[in-house]
A and B are shown apart, each in its own frame.
Chain A
Amino acid sequence: RKEVEQDPGPFNVPEGATVAFNCTYSNSASQSFFWYRQDCRKEPKLLMSVYSSGNEDGRFTAQLNRASQYISLLIRDSKLSDSATYLCVVKVDYKLSFGAGTTVTVRA
């Protein structure tokens, strides 16, 4: 079983729509959680950390459910520039495990 599993998508949404997707993780000892964004043929970049109480960063909302071991990301009022692959990242001690990514395409 993979340590981090994500729905690969793609999610094709019109501009202005809301899109949400999850990832699940297998290690209950996981300590820290992140969403990274990766544009085509570019390196991953941190989008946001995910906190237990849930957190927002502008149009992006992240939630963590430790009991069910899943993390979600919601994008409101999506923009063309939100088109990317979103990577779910889970940390145990020093080791960060990456999901394979969820691809989001926002169309005009």
Chain B
Amino acid sequence: GAGVSQSPSNKVTEKGKDVELRCDPISGHTALYWYRQRLGQGLEFLIYFQGNSAPDKSGLPSDRFSAERTGESVSTLTIQRTQQEDSAVYLCASSLAGTGPSGANVLTFGAGSRLTVL
């Protein structure tokens, strides 16, 4: 597509429920990133995909968080047994390549999925 699409744009859930957040990157972008941004704070790295592989999952805060990517395209971030501290905007971004010349590394972000855990 023309841009990075994320869904849902807003999700309100009860503590303890599971949620799935979806990201459709720009077609042809091999690198895909998930970031989390809590209210009034900076972006926190969660996970990086190169193709369908995730060479860096170091930012996932706990084993309740998981992500996958299929077809070198769509990615899903799953949060199990949500807690109130999971409330944040989850941003997905893609780029042509993860490494190499800086021009290929420019990230295009989706509009984010705003998660509120009650």
Contact = CB atoms under 8 A, between A and B. Distances in A.
Given A93-B99, A94-B48, A98-B42, A46 B106 contact: yes
Nearest to B91: A43
Contacts of A44: 43, 91, 107, 109
B91 A91 contact: no
A101 B91 CA distance: 16
A82 B102 CA distance: 25
A32 B112 contact: no
Given A94-B99, A95-B48, A98-B42, A43 B33 contact: no
Contacts of A66: none
Nearest to B112: A43
Interface in B66-118: 91, 98-99, 102-103, 105-112
User: What range describes how many residues of B lie at the interface?
Assistant: 20 to 34
A96 B34 CA distance: 11
Contact of A101 (B42, B50, B103, B105): B42
B56 interface: yes
B45 interface: yes
B102 A95 contact: no
B41 interface: yes
Contact of B43 (A42, A49, A98): A98
Interface of A: 31-32, 34, 42-46, 49, 87, 91, 93-101
A-B CB proximity, top 7 nearest: A94-B98, A100-B42, A43-B109, A32-B102, A98-B43, A94-B99, A43-B111
